[in-house]
Every structure is written in C-alpha cells, then in structure tokens.
C-alpha cells in the first residue's frame, strides 16, 4: 500500500497495542466516532480528552484547536498521543488514511505549542495502525481492553434512566407535594418573622419511613450530606421527595450541588446566603460568599465519589419523580456529569430536561456550556485522581 508522509513522531510509544488497550480505561468508555488526545508527562498518560469526530472533514481545524487548547491547560504536559476512532471507515489499499487531515492538524497544533507527539493512530472498522505505518492494518483483537474492566459500550452509554413503577412514582409525588407545602410555609414564616426558623417536617408523622426527621430550612444541608450515604436504588419515598424538592427549587439546588462538590460547610454557607437574599437596589444586595463559584467550575477538583453518588441520586429522582419535577433532576444530572468531565452525558441530560421544560434555566445553561466546549477548571488539575476524574469528554 502507499501512504502519505508519516507524521513527525518524536519519542514513539514502545508498545502501541498496549497503549491502545488502555485508552478506553482513560476515557471510561469504548470511544466510537471519536478523536482522543492523551496528554503525557514523562511519557505517562495523565488523562484523556475525547471529542466527536467532525462530520465529513468539516471543522477539522476547529476540532484540532479545541483538543490541543484543552490539553495545554493540563499542568506539566510535555507531549501527546492522538487516536482517531472511526468504526465506519475501512483501511484503504492505498492513499491517505481516514481522518488523516484531522490528525495532521492536531499534530501541527501540538508542534506549535511545543508538545512532543508520541504517536498517532487510527482504529478503523477492520483494523488499527499508526499513521504512516506501511505494515498496518493490524487485528483489532490486539487492542481489546483486558478482561474484567467494566466499560461503557460507547460515549453515549449510561444516560438511560432506571425504571420506576407507577406506585413508586405516586408515592414520591405525594411526598414531594407535602414537602413543597412544608417548604413554602417555612419560607413564608422566615419572611414574616425576620428570618426566625420554623420547624419543617421532612417526613410525615404517619409515614412508615424510618427514621422520622424534623428540622429547619437551615438544617437541610445535614440531610443533603446524609444523602451521600443513601442507596440510590432503594430510596425511601420521603428521601426521594426531599431530593426532588431540592432539585426543582433553584435556591436549594444551587446549595446542594455546591455542597456535593465541596463539603457540608460549603453547602451551609451557600444556603445561608440564599435564604438571606432579598430584592434590593443595585449595590445594596449582600455580597456573594467568599471563595470560588463551584457551579461555574471554579476551585479545586471535587472528590469524585461525592459527584458520582450525587449523579446516581439525581438519575433515580429523574426516573421516579412526577413529570413536572423531572427537569430539575435531569438538569442536576447534567451539571454533575459536567463536573465529572463528561460533557457528552451532560449534554444529553440537558436535552432531556429541555424536552420536558424548554425554558428550564439550568438545563439551558448546561446546553450553552457543552455546545461551547467549556469544561470546569478542575478538569485540568494535576495530578490526576486515582478514581479517574481526569478523563475529559466534550
């Protein structure tokens, strides 16, 4: 076969097959129709960035600039490896390889930024190989991930909501309605009594749920923190109702998401500010809480387990809450996915939310963010967490 000139690879990867076996572990899925750029430090991968392949070659320059621009934000990155996954393409008998133009642009961008290119590979429908390698294609069986690693089928896998029975949805709807009344009464009491707290029953006295909790609005962060230890697949109706209330109520949702991306004290601080806020002339409103704005992706990387548990809870509520409350849970799932670096899932949850409520505020914001290719600042933090929070998906 004939090929175009090989790409300018410096310090080539010694075992390309082994490297490609590990790429799905870095991206937490089996990439399909994707461009993956792996940032390297001392020849070791520090994460992975996945973006969709541009359609029919259109947008190659933009995709390359986006990919390398993001990689350059990863501290101490010295080089990259590039992989194009195109399961619709077959290895040609001669001539340029599929997606060669895109890969060349990525390499040019990397070189312009002073990054060494350690490898450029194509994974096609019928084989894999390096760009410029006359011995390719090689069998796909060589790059299958090791057995025992649970990976998503592709980058879109994992957004289908769990099933929920009609009786379950009725029970959650009843709890949500009761809690909405409780919360509205508590806020009205605060407004009339100068922020004096009114006890808020978080579970009904006649409920069979255990334990029965009583609290005030300012004590809600304690319940939100406790939720991180709940079994998302076996939530009591009162617990599901409480989370549905939080996800559909912006002042609670913002404090909840802040808390799950920081800690209990972070949630308390934001909720106290939200509860104290009153309409005021310009310049007279209370100052924002000090510190980074977590909802904007500022500050240090959150603990991955907190975000993943929060996402599991949001997905369960989106499945079991009444339809009117589902957009809030889906929007929360979108933000939590984005916070984990998975913009593909974030976009899909936001789309589901807007399909039910086109004007939903947070869902609209998440759509804008994901379409713009913006990731939270902590997605580029170094070193990478052991739990894989350094995988980026756009």
Q: What is the pLDDT of residues 310-364, one digit of tens each?
A: 999 999 999 999 999 999 999 999 999 999 999 999 999 999 999 999 999 999 9
* Same domain flag for 194 and 64: no
* Same domain flag for 62 and 182: no
* Same domain flag for 41 and 183: no
The yes-or-no verdict on residue 234 having pLDDT over 80 is yes
Strands 116-124, 128-130: pairing kind: antiparallel
* Same domain flag for 248 and 373: yes
Tell me if 148 is assigned to some domain.
Answer: no
* Same domain flag for 377 and 273: yes
178-201 pLDDT tens trace: 999 888 888 877 767 665 555 555
In terms of pLDDT, which residue wins out, 214 or 357? Answer: 357
* Same domain flag for 297 and 198: yes
Tell me if 4 is assigned to some domain.
Answer: no
pLDDT at residue 211, rounded to an integer: 38
* Same domain flag for 33 and 125: yes
Tell me if 7 is assigned to some domain.
Answer: no
pLDDT at residue 23, rounded to an integer: 93
* Same domain flag for 134 and 175: no
Tell me if 155 is assigned to some domain.
Answer: no
* Confidence band for 154, pLDDT divided at 50, 70 and 90: low
Tell me if 1 is assigned to some domain.
Answer: no
In terms of pLDDT, which residue wins out, 209 or 338? Answer: 338
pLDDT at residue 36, rounded to an integer: 96
The yes-or-no verdict on residue 136 having pLDDT over 90 is no
Range(s) of the domain holding residue 51: 16-143
* Same domain flag for 117 and 232: no
pLDDT at residue 148, rounded to an integer: 60
Strands 34-41, 200-201: pairing kind: unpaired
pLDDT at residue 2, rounded to an integer: 38
* Same domain flag for 186 and 133: no
Q: Where residue 51 sits, what CATH number does that domain have?
A: 3.40.140.10
Can you tell me the mean pLDDT for 303-310?
97
pLDDT at residue 279, rounded to an integer: 65
């Amino acid at each position: 076969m004939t090929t175009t000139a090989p790409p300018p690879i410096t310090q080539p990867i010694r075992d390309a097959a082994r490297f490609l076996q590990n790429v799905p572990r870095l991206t937490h899925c089996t990439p399909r129709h994707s461009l993956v750029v792996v940032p390297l430090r001392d020849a070791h991968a520090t994460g992975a960035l996945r973006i969709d392949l541009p359609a029919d070659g259109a947008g190659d320059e933009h995709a390359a600039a986006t990919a390398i621009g993001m990689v350059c934000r990863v501290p101490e990155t010295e080089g990259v490896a590039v992989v194009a996954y195109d399961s619709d393409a077959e290895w040609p008998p001669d001539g340029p390889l599929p997606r060669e133009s895109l890969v060349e642009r990525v390499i040019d961008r990397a070189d312009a930024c002073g990054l060494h290119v350690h490898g450029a590979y194509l994974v096609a429908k019928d084989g894999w190989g390096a760009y410029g390698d006359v011995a390719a294609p090689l069998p796909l069986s060589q790059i299958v991930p090791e057995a025992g690693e649970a990976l998503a089928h592709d980058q879109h896998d994992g957004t289908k909501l769990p099933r929920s029975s009609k009786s379950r949805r009725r029970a959650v709807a009843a709890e949500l309605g009761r809690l909405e009344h409780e919360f509205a009464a508590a806020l009205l009491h605060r407004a009339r009594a100068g922020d004096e707290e009114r006890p808020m029953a978080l579970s009904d006295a006649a409920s069979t749920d255990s334990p029965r909790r009583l609290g005030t609005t300012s004590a809600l962060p304690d319940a939100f923190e406790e939720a991180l230890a709940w079994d998302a697949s076996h939530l009591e109706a009162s617990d599901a109702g409480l989370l549905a209330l939080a996800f559909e109520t912006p002042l609670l949702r913002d404090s909840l998401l802040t808390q799950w991306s920081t800690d209990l004290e972070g949630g308390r601080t934001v909720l106290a500010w939200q509860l104290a806020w009153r309409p005021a002339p310009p310049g007279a409103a209370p100052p924002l809480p000090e510190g980074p704005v977590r909802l904007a992706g500022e500050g240090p990387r959150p603990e991955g387990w907190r975000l993943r548990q929060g996402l599991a809870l949001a997905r369960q509520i989106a499945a079991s809450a009444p339809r009117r409350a589902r957009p809030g849970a889906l929007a929360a799932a979108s933000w939590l996915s984005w916070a984990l670096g998975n913009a593909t899932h974030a976009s899909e949850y936001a789309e589901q939310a807007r399909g039910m409520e086109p004007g939903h505020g947070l869902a609209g914001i998440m759509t804008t963010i994901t379409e713009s290719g913006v990731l939270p600042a902590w997605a580029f933090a170094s070193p990478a967490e052991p739990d894989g929070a350094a995988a980026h998906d756009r």
